[in-house]
Structure 1
Amino acid sequence: MADKKYKLTSEKLEWEGHVLYRIKALKDFADIKAGDLGGYIEREFNLSQTGSCWVYNDAKVDGMAIVFDNARIKDHAIISGYAVVCEDALVYGNVITYDNATILGKTKISGQAIIHGDAVVSGYGSICGDAEICEKAVLDGGFVISSGIISTNISVENNNDNVNNIQNIKFKEI
């Protein structure tokens, strides 16, 4: 790829059995300027060289996880395993996303949230606080989840302009 937007620097971080490298922007795009330092990735596979996607601050992306399109990973967020974060998703705070989880759309995930298993989070919702989305849960549309656990074949969909405000819940398949 001739027109790379970032490179791996020599600054290394050993984390959970992985060696991660800080990234450095090679050109201006979105809110990034050439020379800006970003977060840490294990290999170029983890962050697309196209689109406006970026890993900021001390955020980490490792394993076979991938960030692409215009997705942004900030603060101390961790994207690991085979997780995918794409489109215009924003993941920040101390969020941990791993396994085969997928985050897409205009979803915003923050706080201490954990997204894992085969969970899919899409649409324009918000997950924050200490919420956990796991197993085969699917969230789509507009929603706000601030705590609780959503897991195992639970589907929350909202395709209109209203927002589902889901708090202090624990959904589990019986």
Structure 2
Amino acid sequence: MKFLRAIKSGHVFQLGQHEKHLLLETIKLYPLVPATHHRLSKGGEVPQADENQRLLEDALAEQRQENRRLVLLMLDEPQRFRETKSGFELKLTPAQVEWLLQVLNDVRVGSWLMLGEPESGEEPKITKQNARHLLALELCGLFQSVLLAALGMNESSKWLGD
């Protein structure tokens, strides 16, 4: 995936046939972070904590299923991907770029959780069950970096811990 240009209505990206397939299959993993991962409180006493936590989880699950449906519908719109000699051009508004970043981040974090939350530089233990999550983790990072570059956010040495 490559950022081609900014246009009045947003951004244009170039994807090969295989990249388009990988992007769509990766997005289909959404939502991947379990609703139980989000906590109502990180420590303090909360009245009716269990009931309120359950309500939060239910609301998140419902919202995320609707987000999944809508993002897949958006990417399935006939004008979304324009076929070119080298693959496809993908046009997104700034709001759609932000939305796609959120979806990809959920898949990336969820994949990291499925891999056992490996520390930076640590090789996760790969099994038949979690191999696709390693691929999803890496693909999300790639797609996110291109989308962020389109928004003018380049990689920072601070992100690398330097």
Same fold (TM over 0.5): no
Q: Which has the higher helix share?
A: 2
Bigger Cα Rg: 2
Q: TM-score by structure 2 length?
A: 0.22
